[in-house]
Structure 1
């Protein structure tokens, strides 16, 4: 299956590397308005660089296009790709507003193409195992959950992260990983309460979610924390405890993110401490779903519900009040 990518930054390089290794995929083009970024990927993975989107689409005729751009640009490119009749993989978050995300999903449906949103935590073996254990009743009824996802500020690599109106801050761009996983595992959220502190160097948020099943989850996320990127989760149930920490995960090979500094050309992204690369697995899953016409592990509607929770969290931080969904 022919695949092209739009956006050749950190996520573009990650997905290009995986597509180049995938037997069922052929990376046919890389587009970026920063032509040097596209040329780097083209030279590394033996494909063609483009600085014009329509030229790439016409010359390569891809089956799938991966949208790996800043969030405010998602809708425009997703809809342009749908106009070409091509399937779309779009990085999370789907959009800055749930209504915009739903409009994107409806547009793709009307054009007869599939839209997959890159909520990659669903493809982490560790998290999939936790979900199976919770649903299997191994720890009984889950009462309290704690998650943590912290690291350097990505604004050192990409300044747009400092623009809250465009990035949505640490809750929209980072904590959304844990919001999606907990919704996937525990169900609907009933209320949201947030404390959020932001300045030019730090964006720290503590969000409390109450689920309809009465589970309470405390989610912590931070950009600008003086340590290497790390994440973890603890689920406490009536019969036991499930705990995972990226820093102490036991595996023969462990990938670790190093502390970012100004001028570093990378944005920290979560990696799985196993051989099963979740970014590879999510693209493989999307290709298989198209090939065999099977359901996706993440729907656009679920991605939009995540945005509603994020927006409730941001509103709670602004008002100092809990928000009921």
Structure 2
């Protein structure tokens, strides 16, 4: 499989490293408007460098384009690739509005190519284990979930993150990871209520999601946290709790309500997240889906739904009202 990469920033280089190690995959081009940056990436993995995206599409012979450019450019680069007959692997979010997201999905379908969106949390072992433990009935029926994703403000490294028209802010860029995960784990979402505080150096949001099942999830996302990047999640059911916290050495703990043989009230079972990069696992799954004609763990429609919920959360934070999913996200109803 011949792959080309556009965008040679942090995630673009992650993509490059993954593809360079992937059996049966050849990186036939890397592209960025920053000539120094694209040359460094190209030299590191031994691939041709391009500063023109059009030239790369026309000259590299690529079958797949991996898109790792700022969020507001996802639609433009995806549609150009699809119209050139290339499969598309785009970083999340799929786009910054639903019309652009739908156009991307439709354009890929109409041109007979696949569209994949990098909601990589589904490929993190600890999150995948939580999903499977819930599906297997380990903790019974989901009642309440909590997630947290906090770290420094990325705008201090890449200024475009400060511009909400480019990044979508902390909800569309960061919280959307947990929105996708919690929908994957808990099912369809009925409504969302969100609050948000922002300044030049801080973007903080919380969101309460109510599922069609009646379960509730509380999500927190924070740019500007004065400490290391950390994530945490717990799922509570009528039979126990599953918890993961990246700040702890154990990646996953399962606490069941049955008494243990030692007489304690809980049994805790730590699970290892493994050693393979989730980005490698994700990208390999996307490539194998193209080869085998099957669906990925996360589909383009999943990415559309995650964006729909994220936009509803952003609208709720703006209006102070709950937003029903599936309705126009510009319309909110009172809590």
Q: TM-score, normalised by structure 2?
A: 0.89
What secondary structure is seen at the aligned counterpart in 2 of 1:214? coil
Q: Is 2:81 the counterpart of 1:81?
A: yes
Larger relative CO (CA 8 A, sep 6+): 1 or 2? 1
Aligned to 2:183: 183
**CA distance in structure 2 between the aligned counterparts of 1:168 and 1:34, rounded to whole angstroms:** 23
What secondary structure is seen at the aligned counterpart in 2 of 1:14? helix
Q: Is 2:188 the counterpart of 1:206?
A: no
TM-superposition CA deviations, 1:193-240 (whole Å, max 9, x none)? 111000000000011111111111110110001110000101111110
Matched length = 305
RMSD: 1.2
Q: For the Cα contact (< 8 Å) 2:83–2:107, is it kept in 1? A: no
**CA distance in structure 2 between the aligned counterparts of 1:279 and 1:37, rounded to whole angstroms:** 21
TM-superposition CA deviations, 1:46-91 (whole Å, max 9, x none)? 1111111122222211011101111111111111111111111000
**CA distance in structure 2 between the aligned counterparts of 1:23 and 1:301, rounded to whole angstroms:** 28
Aligned to 1:98: 98
After the TM superposition, which residues 24-173 of structure 1 pair with which residues of structure 2 at under 5 Å, given as runs?
24-173=24-173
**CA distance in structure 2 between the aligned counterparts of 1:107 and 1:229, rounded to whole angstroms:** 36
**CA distance in structure 1 between the aligned counterparts of 2:212 and 2:250, rounded to whole angstroms:** 34
Q: Which aligned segments of 4 or more residues in structure 1 are displaced greater than 3 angstroms? A: none
| Cα shift at 1:250 | 3.1
**CA distance in structure 1 between the aligned counterparts of 2:60 and 2:35, rounded to whole angstroms:** 17
Q: Is 2:266 the counterpart of 1:277?
A: no
**CA distance in structure 1 between the aligned counterparts of 2:250 and 2:315, rounded to whole angstroms:** 39
Aligned to 2:265: none
What secondary structure is seen at the aligned counterpart in 2 of 1:200? coil
Gaps of 5+ in 2: 252-271, 326-335
Aligned to 1:218: 218
TM-superposition CA deviations, 1:167-205 (whole Å, max 9, x none)? 111110001000001111111111111110000000000
Q: For the Cα contact (< 8 Å) 1:246–1:273, is it kept in 2? A: no
**CA distance in structure 1 between the aligned counterparts of 2:283 and 2:4, rounded to whole angstroms:** 12
What secondary structure is seen at the aligned counterpart in 2 of 1:138? coil
Q: For the Cα contact (< 8 Å) 1:249–1:273, is it kept in 2? A: no
| Cα shift at 1:273 | 5.1
Q: TM-score, normalised by structure 1?
A: 0.92
Aligned to 1:2: 2
